[in-house]
Amino acid sequence: MKRFWKTLRVRLAIWNAGAVILTAMVTLIGLQQGVRWALLHEMDQLLIEDIEEITLTLKELSAAEFDNYTEELNRKAIVHRHHGWFVELLSRDQTLLWKSVATPETALPFPALKVDSRKPYTFENYRLVVRQLKSPIHNVEAIRVGSSLTFLSEDLAIIDRFVLMAAGFVLVLAPLSGFLLAGRTVRSIGDIIQTAARLRPSHLDERLPLRGTEDELDQLAKTVNGLLDRIATYLQQKRDFLANAAHELRTPLAAIRSSVEVALNSNRSVEEYQELLIDIIDEGSALETLVNQLLLISETEAEKINSDFGTVMFHEVVQKAIDMFVGVAETREITLEARIEKPLTVPGIRGHLRQLVNNLIDNAIKYTPTGGKVTVTLTAPHANLIHLDVQDNGIGIAPEDLPHVFDRFFRAERSRTRQQEIVGTGLGLSICQAVVSAHKGSITCHSSSESGTCFTVRLPRGENDISHSGV
């Protein structure tokens, strides 16, 4: 029960009923007061007109005609009996000279008025207007016209009854209709809650229903559906990644195990044992490389990476990578050329940026046949941007493989099916992309079988290129 009162439906209904009841009450009371004022004003106007007419007629009357006129006033009083209309003619000291029929017996008060004033006033159940004349006419120095308020009160009582009835209707209907309307609104929220409650990380294929009304609730459902799509894709990527990682780890582990089994199978010479141990070391380093790469990927994915940023002398990083690979390139008879603009700094993590440059140069050398050429160019085309190009004239990447080279564990057919398979994990470029995007940069690739491959990295340039505080 307590929960019922806390529901959005009930709260919406209460707010709605409150607003409707308040508006209706203000309108009804305003209407009632307006009608009361209009009726009273109408009555006042009639009384003022009457007193005006009597004054004018008295002025024009001869003494002989006075009695006839009072007869006429009596007739009028009889005609308007049901309104309680009456006239009094008074002397200066308020002595009654004449009164019409239907004049109340009670002594009516005589307010101190300015001469000629006709301000209406109320006494008990009567509305009265008095006029003090400037000079007496046939001894009459003041005229009072009045009317009973009973008639008006009856009209007002009818209006009051109507107002009460209308208020009663509003009091019942407003909460009821509010409750029904709120029910329609919150029904879709209920659908969203139910569907969301059914969702599980392992079962994310259900989506919230759209009603096609394009209102805020539809927008909410669309946003939640979009979020679910992204979560589902993300989880699928994670699953693929885990499966691929396990697969890649299994190969060197199986190789180590079989080497050990072979060693244990029978007695071997010292040379044979040494050969097997060297195989195990090779497989162990392959495993180490893979595990390091996996670690690097999870590190670059972590958002806290930004807080570890420092100023990295990027030209130094590139130069060191060139120095490191020059020997390998020579062995493979590949020309390794570098054009490095300096000083160029990048806000970031030195270790990760070094991995980025190493991966690109390593690939360029790996996928370029003997006698080829690799050119590394570091420039700053804009004040706040640096470009690193790693160009080779190697085997190139097929157009259909280009969109996938940055995918984790992707290895192009070309690199696998060559007579001598090129060793790799398929993680190098995805690490490059993760590092570049963590550094708020971009990486692109252009390639053709004729001219080879060129990777271009764009990174934001550090503000202080003169400082030498490497991270």
Residues that bind ligand ADP (CB under 6 A): 359, 363-364, 367, 392, 394-397, 405, 410-412, 414-415, 424-430, 453
Strand residue runs (E) in 40-120: 86-90, 96-99
CA dihedral 411, 414, 417, 420 (to 10 degrees): -100
Number of other residues whose CB lies within 10 A of the CB of residue 190: 13
Nearer to ligand ADP, 13 or 356 (CB): 356
Bridge partners, 30 (sequence order): none
Q: Any idea how long the chain is? A: 471
DSSP class per residue in 139-201: TEEEEEEEEESHHHHHHHHHHHHHHHHHHHHHHHHHHHHHHHHHHHHHHHHHHHHHHHHH-BT
- In angstroms, give the least distance from the CB of 342 to ligand ADP: 25
Q: Which is nearer to ligand ADP, 56 or 398 (CB)?
A: 398
CB of 250 to ligand ADP, least distance (A): 17
Q: Angle 118-121-123 (CA atoms, 0-180°, nearest 5)?
A: 140
Residue among 175 and 394 whose Cβ is closer to ligand ADP: 394
CB 136 within 8 A of CB 59: no
Between 153 and 375, name the residue whose CB sits nearer to ligand ADP.
375
Nearer to ligand ADP, 345 or 453 (CB): 453
Neighbour count for residue 413 (Cβ, 10 Å): 10
Minimum CB distance to ligand ADP, residue 393 (Å) = 10
Instruction: Single out the residue of 441, 330, 429, 339 nearest to residue 384, CA to CA.
Output: 441
CA distance 326 to 310: 28
* Nearer Cβ to ligand ADP (101/402): 402
- Which phi-psi region, left, alpha or beta, contains residue 408 (left: φ > 0; alpha: ψ -120 to 50)? beta
Query: Cβ 298 to ligand ADP, closest distance in Å?
Result: 16
Least distance CB 281 / ligand ADP (angstroms):
20
- The residue (of 313 and 436) whose beta carbon lies closer to ligand ADP is 436
Nearer to ligand ADP, 263 or 402 (CB): 402
What are the counts of helices (DSSP H) followed by strands (DSSP E) for the chain? 10, 12
